[in-house]
Structure 1
Amino acid sequence: MRTKAWKVFQWISYLEGTSFLVLLCIAMPLKYMADKPNAVSVTGGIHGFFFALYLVAVAVMAVRYRWKALRVVGAVIASLLPFGPFVFERRLAKKA
């Protein structure tokens, strides 16, 4: 399963997960505790881009590797949870 598509999915998964954690752990506290709403505006836009890219990558992987619907739903749910993309990608790597 270690193809170029797999490596690209892995990188996108890390980027999406990291951007989400930065948004939650750095930008949101800056917005509400330091009164700096620009932090969320910038980080939110970056995270939104990586989130959309992650969903496209999930669709590509689902088609290429014929993922079942449950795995696709798991990937989408993982993208909504902190550390979710990291856990999902690691579990996927163990099964491969």
Structure 2
Amino acid sequence: MDIKTASALHRLRLISVPEALSFPALLIFGTALTWLTGFDALKMPLGLLHGILFLIYSVFLLDVWYKAKWPFKKVALFFVLSLVPFGGLYGDKLLKREEADSVVAARARQAAEA
């Protein structure tokens, strides 16, 4: 793997934790706020924030799929993990291992070329 692949994995890791926490935290908080105050926080600010994080995660996942040449099953696993509350935290753990492996491979390739 090259350094572009490692950076794509790093970007996906950076967005996976906020996306994973936005689903249960913001939506549960928004639902409670709606029930208690009548202000529909899910329609605009909180739902919109979660939606934006999910879209960014999806774009970064497609970028990693293209650059790392992952099999479809692996991409589908990470997509499903983004749909499960706190599933992205497990996905982050898997991505951390994958990112470390790609950095080591990129550095080994650079050393071999030099």
Larger radius of gyration: 2
Overall identity of the aligned pairs, in %: 26
Q: Which consecutive residues of structure 1, in runs of 5 or more, have no partner in the other structure?
A: none
Q: Per the alignment, in what secondary structure is the counterpart of residue 39 of structure 2?
A: coil
Number of equivalent positions = 95
Quick one: distance in 2 between partners of 1:94 and 1:4?
Answer: 14
Moved over 3 A (4+): none
Q: Please name the residue that 1:85 is paired with.
A: 88
Q: Which consecutive residues of structure 2, in runs of 5 or more, have no partner in the other structure?
A: 102-114
Does the aligned pair in 2 maintain the 1:16–1:54 contact within 8 Å?
yes
Quick one: distance in 2 between partners of 1:93 and 1:7?
Answer: 8
Using structure 1 for the length normalisation, give the TM-score: 0.85
RMSD between aligned alpha carbons?
Answer: 1.8
Q: Please name the residue that 1:6 is paired with.
A: 9
Q: Please name the residue that 1:45 is paired with.
A: 48
Quick one: distance in 1 between partners of 2:94 and 2:29?
Answer: 27
Q: Could you say which structure has the greater relative contact order, defined with CA pairs below 8 angstroms and 6 or more residues apart?
A: 2
1:1-96, aligned counterparts within 5 Å?
3-37=6-40, 39-40=41-42, 41-95=44-98, 96=101
How far off its partner does 1:75 sit? Answer: 1.1
